[in-house]
Structure 1
Amino acid sequence: MRLLEARLRERRLEIDSELGGLAQTLHDVREARGAESVDDEHDPEGPTLSSEWSRIHGVHGELAASSEAVDAALDRITAGNYSVCERCGLPIGFARLEARPEATLCIICARAAER
């Protein structure tokens, strides 16, 4: 269990770092979009600032969701109900938790939820 908790804490630090970098990038794109002299909609050299904003904003949202999932897993460790399937109440297998330490469903329930 300590190995998985360490992995979750490590992942939390990685996410924080990535979110920090994306926040700066979003700020830079926002600044560039606000510049009156920027006419990137007609620039054949690359993506527009609007499309770049959308892409970065989407990645930021995904990282924020991952951050919440990691925090919730750490909270379950503290509460003593980590590795228990939220749906059926049976243990979540170690192999699944090793692959996805933030998992809330056992493999059987996760497969059923995908259908």
Structure 2
Amino acid sequence: MREGESPWSAAEVAELRGELEGEIERLRAEVAEAEQDLFERGRAFGDGAGDDQADAGSATWEREHELSVTNNARDLIDQNTHALDRIEQGTYGDCESCGTPIGKMRLQAFPRATLCMTCKQKQERR
């Protein structure tokens, strides 16, 4: 904990764990739905015979967009899982770069944070 912050209570940790687990389940459902949509879109589009260039371009854009959304959801699942692992290991709230406390308010706003503000700012400048 940072100076002046109260430590995480058992109830706060339980609530945080529940939020992360709920987010993982929501994202997994989103990924499954997106993968099904991609599969169906691929089957419906077939070989593209008879489609004009605009239809083909639109279908390609939709597929690329769906892939991007799916990959983003997978990344968020990984980040949430990592946060849960850190809770279990007792390292949640410690910066993975410098080891200093991240700050409770930052973690409440962004529970997947792995870097303190100083290290995050350094990372973004690179």
Structure having greater relative contact order (Cα 8 Å, sep ≥ 6): 2
TMscore range, shorter length: 0.7 to 0.9
Contact 1:32-1:49 within 8 A present in 2 as well: no
1:12-91 to structure 2, matched below 5 A, reads 12-37=24-49, 39=51, 41-43=53-55, 48-91=58-101
Q: How many Å separate the matches in 2 of 1:42 and 1:83?
A: 50
Residue by residue over 1:73-98, the C-alpha shift from the partner in whole angstroms, topping out at 9 and shown as x without a partner, is 11111111111100110111111111
Letter in 2 for 1:48: S
RMSD: 1.6
Distance in 1 (alpha carbons) for counterparts of 2:58 and 2:52: 5
State the partner residue of 1:100.
110
Query: Post-superposition shift, 1:63?
Result: 0.6
Tell me, which stretches of 5 or more residues in structure 2 are unaligned? 1-12
Q: Residues 38 and 58 of structure 1: is their aligned pair in 2 closer, same or farther, counting only changes over 3 Å?
A: farther
Residues 23-57 of structure 1: CA deviation (Å, up to 9, x unaligned): 111111111232454515234xxx61111111101
Structure 1 segments (4+ residues) deviating >3 Å: 35-38
Partner-residue secondary structure (3-state), 2:115: coil
- What corresponds to 2:9 in structure 1? none
